[in-house]
């Protein structure tokens, strides 16, 4: 799937592509730069529970918004679990996203 450079960087971080595989990711970038640009709607549920719903029929992506000491930051461990969840639900992996030229 061809995406803009900013969106590609977010998914490159999640799927450990290139130099940023060990860093953290801002929650806001995941929400605003990546998922909403792909057409997902964002819903707050109870507590820190969040859900992204795809525009086309398909399963929603449940997530826990980082809170407490890690508020607003997706850590490396959480990125790994998120990558697994995105793969399981949508078939996405490191080869899914291609930066626009």
Query: Structural domain boundaries of the chain?
Result: 2-91
Residue of 42, 43, 31, 41 whose CA lies nearest to 7: 31
Quote the longest CA-to-CA distance of the chain.
40
Tens-place pLDDT, residues 5-48: 999 999 999 998 766 556 899 999 999 999 999 999 999 999 99
Q: What is the pTM (predicted TM-score) of this model? A: 0.88
β-pair partners for 50: 44, 63
**β-pairing verdict for 73-74 and 25-26:** antiparallel
Tell me the pLDDT band of 56, cut-offs 50, 70 and 90: confident
Where helices occur in 1-101 by DSSP H, the ranges are 5-14, 27-28, 76-90
Let me know: does 38 contact 46? Beta carbons within 8 Å. Answer: no
The chain-wide mean pLDDT, for the chain, equals 91
Task: Note the pLDDT of residue 21.
Answer: 59
């Amino acid at each position: 799937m061809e995406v803009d450079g900013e969106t590609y960087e977010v998914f490159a971080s999640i799927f450990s592509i290139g130099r940023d595989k060990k860093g953290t990711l801002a929650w806001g970038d995941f929400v605003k730069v990546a998922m909403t640009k792909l057409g997902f709607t964002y819903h707050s549920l109870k507590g820190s529970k969040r859900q992204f719903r795809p525009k086309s029929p398909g399963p929603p992506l449940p997530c826990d918004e980082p809170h407490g000491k890690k508020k607003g930051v997706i850590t490396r461990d959480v990125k790994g679990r998120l990558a697994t969840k995105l793969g399981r639900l949508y078939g996405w992996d490191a080869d899914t996203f291609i930066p626009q030229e």
